[in-house]
Chains A and B, each alone.
Chain A
């Protein structure tokens, strides 16, 4: 670089000027970020520290952490917390496994690959509420596609009221989510696959590695950053799940999520303080989980990046 030949003092002076320029150039986007992200979050935190009168709109009383204490000592919050994590755990792991498989298939050279890559993304393009209603119809007792097929084939589950039973209802919600977002995970993983150089595989082949050995020892480790990235995106989304349980069960049969609880308090009951506290708790939960991801799994993203350099 040009700076290499310059004296140290002039380097730092130039550096500082560059930094100022960088700051000036990023300032507009920083301000916009603050406006659309930081301000609403700060406002929600403020709301969550107050109790609002249902009787008189706008009248409030500062209650400190009372709303949080109420929420954290309620069985409903912890039930929703557990149910949301169960949903996230099941759906994200299925999506990653299926997404990896799908990505490997799409990475093979075959005729019509470009078309298939587009088609595979279709479920992701469908609005969640619409797909939820479709799933609801498919699992309808007596006349739904799935229940009909199951009972015609004499398989178990044909006479089950899927959305009316604990466990089964969660299964439908997980299925609906996996169906919709596996393509998204596949796409990210596919991008990761394409970065792996052909030489690595050639070397493995020369060394006499089997297909399975190649997959376990080469593909998977090199794919890890992409998988972790997909996992972060999907987990953050899954922990905020709202539309699927809202349409499919209205939170019945052990499917009420943290976001649904917050919505009920905020919108239906107009308990602004309590609802905001629940939203902030949801937000914190998602944040903690993503920090953990980045700390423990995300380190690999940097390692791999270094190795590649």
Chain B
């Protein structure tokens, strides 16, 4: 954003402490209505979850999160209650969309509400929530369960060398292609070249100005070897790789590899456009498989993992949902027991079979029963294992805006690659300073 915001020197400057304290008290009084406390409490002071506590747990556990469209949350809560015998779990829907759920969760956490023991969190929320000291440190729990979890999914729960949640189910992009018209995509370059060959071969993806564009862009950037932030958290997006990918994407729109209409597509319009049969390739999430199977394209489409960048490797961006224990939970042991259950290899099979979600346990993908329900499990595992998390930062929403707004500007032709890359880097740096 251009709305420059200098870093807040709150915790560092003793000289301003007194004035600050007065303001903080005033703010706290005003905020008390919505429960905002003023006591500084960060990730450093967070308490840890005890992995062995789950065995002796009892009482009730309340899991809160987004509307349960696939039934997985309520289903898991019921199955857990039945299997455990001592702990009863229930799922509470607190938002119809991902954004609403985040707002609701933030409100509860800021207000130190004890209503929810566990939150189902989008992978991109981890660092924001952890940095506030809102979550229980799950490092020991994750370490104990590590052998049954796919490493890339565990990475999405990491912030400052600790784990703040346990992966529940994951998600990764796939390429759907018309095998009667186009070849299986091996590289992005091959996909784009093939897509430009004939009018009915085009590629559809999510190019609207929103979070989905960040994902589509990063999938290519990661496979090209680029990154947004390095290990130390420095902004490294101003690179040759970023320029290459941006030029590649905008050339794709000019030479008709991709229809200009993608600039208005999020997930559903992209799927609907593809269902018309006028396209060769589509990038979308696994849930589209079932929907495509119910169309006339059922016999002609196939699934592939995301392709590699020419001369690089295949990569992707991880989606999915984690289980985070609220720092204000009154039944932490019950929450641990629930996580233990949800991540067992056996339940992870049900995650795939009963709810068509991508398991976080690798063995589940090769289970015959799973393969029968989810024939593309092998391709999905390929995408999941190669995928990386989105930039890990408490100000991720701002970073993502800096990415998708500037990528969009290049794609729609209102900015040059060079301008966009510089602006992107600048805005991400500013965003990081706001933390």
Asked if A131 CB lies within 8 Å of chain B CBs, one says no
Report Cα–Cα, A166/B414, bound state, in Å.
9
Asked if A55 CB lies within 8 Å of chain B CBs, one says yes
Say which one of A84-92, A216-224, A246-254 lies at the interface with B. A246-254
Asked if B298 CB lies within 8 Å of chain A CBs, one says no
Closest approach, in angstroms, between the C-beta of B109 and any C-beta of chain A? 8
Whether B4 pairs with A61 at a CB distance below 8 angstroms is no
Which residues from B are CB-within-8-Å of A151? none
Asked if A215 CB lies within 8 Å of chain B CBs, one says no
| Partner of A251 from B27, B37, B209 at Cβ < 8 Å | B209
| Partner of B8 from A43, A55, A70, A161 at Cβ < 8 Å | A55
Given contacts A141-B261, A166-B414, contact A59 B40 (CB under 8 A): yes
Sorting the interface of chain B by its residue count into under 10, 10 to 19, 20 to 34 or 35 or more gives 35 or more
Given contacts A74-B2, A74-B4, A164-B263, contact A57 B36 (CB under 8 A): yes
Q: B residues 222-272 with Cβ under 8 Å of A? A: 259-261, 263-264, 269, 272
Whether A57 pairs with B110 at a CB distance below 8 angstroms is yes
Closest approach, in angstroms, between the C-beta of A196 and any C-beta of chain B? 46
Say which one of B17-25, B158-166, B175-183, B302-310 lies at the interface with A. B17-25
Say which one of A30-38, A99-107, A179-187, A269-277 lies at the interface with B. A269-277
Whether A141 pairs with B259 at a CB distance below 8 angstroms is yes
Mark each residue of chain B from 400 to 435: 1 if its CB lies under 8 Å from any CB of chain A, else 0: 010000001000101000000000000000000011
Closest approach, in angstroms, between the C-beta of B46 and any C-beta of chain A? 13
Report Cα–Cα, A62/B408, bound state, in Å.
36
Whether B395 pairs with A269 at a CB distance below 8 angstroms is yes
Closest residue of chain A to B37 (Cβ to Cβ) is A58
Asked if B10 CB lies within 8 Å of chain A CBs, one says yes
Whether B209 pairs with A54 at a CB distance below 8 angstroms is no
Q: B residues 190-208 with Cβ under 8 Å of A? A: 208
Mark each residue of chain B from 1 to 36: 1 if its CB lies under 8 Å from any CB of chain A, else 0: 111110010110000100110011001101100001
Mark each residue of chain A from 166 to 186: 1 if its CB lies under 8 Å from any CB of chain B, else 0: 100000000000000000000
Which residues from B are CB-within-8-Å of A58? 24, 27-28, 31, 36-39, 110
Mark each residue of chain A from 258 to 280: 1 if its CB lies under 8 Å from any CB of chain B, else 0: 00000011011111001000000
Which residues from B are CB-within-8-Å of A267? 99, 103
How many residues of chain A are within 8 Å of chain B by beta carbon? Answer: 45
Closest approach, in angstroms, between the C-beta of B246 and any C-beta of chain A? 16
Asked if A83 CB lies within 8 Å of chain B CBs, one says no
Asked if B59 CB lies within 8 Å of chain A CBs, one says no
Mark each residue of chain A from 41 to 76: 1 if its CB lies under 8 Å from any CB of chain B, else 0: 001001000111111111111100000001100111
Given contacts A54-B434, A250-B208, contact A271 B5 (CB under 8 A): yes
Report Cα–Cα, A76/B24, bound state, in Å.
30
Which residues from A are CB-within-8-Å of B208? 249-250, 252
Which residues from B are CB-within-8-Å of A43? 30
Which residues from A are CB-within-8-Å of B99? 267-268
Which residues from A are CB-within-8-Å of B4? 70, 74
Mark each residue of chain A from 139 to 169: 1 if its CB lies under 8 Å from any CB of chain B, else 0: 0111100000000000000000111111000
Report Cα–Cα, A74/B1, bound state, in Å.
9
| Partner of B278 from A62, A142, A265, A269 at Cβ < 8 Å | A142
**B37, B103, B263, B273, most chain A CB atoms within 10 A:** B263
Closest residue of chain A to B398 (Cβ to Cβ) is A269
Report Cα–Cα, A268/B106, bound state, in Å.
11
Whether B260 pairs with A161 at a CB distance below 8 angstroms is yes
Closest approach, in angstroms, between the C-beta of A143 and any C-beta of chain B? 6
Given contacts A56-B132, A58-B24, A252-B412, contact A71 B435 (CB under 8 A): no
Whether B27 pairs with A274 at a CB distance below 8 angstroms is no
Q: Using A54-B8, A269-B398, A271-B5 as known contacts, list a sample of 10 further A-B pairs with CB atoms less than 8 Å apart, ordered by residue number in A.
A: A43-B30, A53-B8, A56-B40, A59-B27, A142-B278, A163-B264, A252-B412, A265-B1, A267-B103, A268-B398
Task: List 4 tightest A-B contacts by C-beta distance, closest first.
Answer: A164-B263, A141-B261, A252-B209, A58-B36
